[in-house]
Structure 1
């Protein structure tokens, strides 16, 4: 596989010899589901690595339409193709019509802040696979990667405003940090003293001051 290494929330298509690249065995039922999914030309979502993983290890997830979550641990060499998270513009046509106004406001917010807004979760699975995943009570899971802390503050203010205007769907998701970590935007908006950060390997609590310090100084 050429190009950048896949990271959490990215999407990958596995090559024909993927099973030979397994690093952890799969029970027969899980192997059957993963094989069938791959053979239908569908992608897998990249999960975070575990602390003991080597650089060429890859952790993948498969969420089935019945909400079962399957995991796959293999070598990076199994990847045939790699895609970033779909944008909210790309998935809009795959979303329920009732979500349209809320998604349009999210698109407008991203444009105003010059941010690409990615999507993960059920709507992304539905868009990438063509299989129905979204249910009436599904959330929209959004991804943002602001470059400055002032953009984080403007983003949180804007998301809270959009959420107040549109109760038909809950806007969830993560703010991606400069060091590769990610935090729930809703938790961040509460300005807690400590907040749970999901990193490229594992997760841990960090202070709000530590998160601010990751961004470049604006003084």
Structure 2
């Protein structure tokens, strides 16, 4: 299954499928935007699977979206929901690395982003950037505004990495408008700010996956770091 926030490049047939499937639900102006998106060969973004797509259908269908640049007067951003056959996916990759977005970020963010990228590499952590900063880097269009955040997807492989990464997020949130999610090995993601504020008085957290949203506990999320070998020893 395709992970949320991943970047997907489609074949021409894939874009045609998107146009056909969204023809009745998308405004004519948005269809023109889709054509420009295809011509520029920009990626679509993987989103949560639609509720009417069952598990079997999800094996052959990927739910995608694109966000157009915000209106310069109102700030309104048009988001277009798409679907495409998995067979028409040309390429898929994770969110952009922090290094890849620095040049496109506002000048007053760049030094702090570079320092964060250096610390991420030093600790061998997996961080990706999505949202407005990533779209600005990918397309060259103006997505970032004064109210924009730097959306980060942090994917720790161990509890030690989790602790190191959250410490970095807390440190650099003092100089950057950091937002985003921690993606656990189980596939569930939680807002990093919610995780950082969680404790025994807040036992349940809102988590997201490719298939939906639910409440779970810190213990359940931490349990996803347990290796198969450890699991075998516990039985």
TM-score under structure 2 length normalisation: 0.82
CA distance in 1, matches of 2:67, 2:209: 21
* From 82, 92, 95, the counterpart of 1:82: 92
Q: 1:16 aligns with which of 7, 12, 16?
A: 12
Point out where structure 2 has 5 or more consecutive residues left out of the alignment.
71-76, 231-235
Residue aligning to 1:61: 65
Matches of 1:12 and 1:147, distance apart in 2: 24
Distance 1:160 1:151 in 2: 14
Structure exhibiting the larger radius of gyration computed from Cα positions: 2
**1:141-194 Cα distance to aligned partner (Å, 9 max, x none):** 011111112321222122112222x1xx31111111101121111110011311
Shift of 1:74: 2.1
* Pair 40,20 (structure 1): closer, same or farther in 2 beyond 3 Å: closer
Q: How many correspondences in the alignment? A: 211
1:46-125 mapped onto 2 (5 Å cutoff): 46-51=46-51, 52-53=53-54, 54=57, 55-66=59-70, 67-125=77-135
Q: Which has the larger helix fraction?
A: 2
RMSD: 2.0
Relative to the length of structure 1, the TM-score reads 0.87
Query: For the Cα contact (< 8 Å) 1:92–1:100, is it kept in 2?
Result: yes
> How far apart, in 2, do the equivalents of 1:146 and 1:38 lie?
33
Gaps of 5+ in 1: none
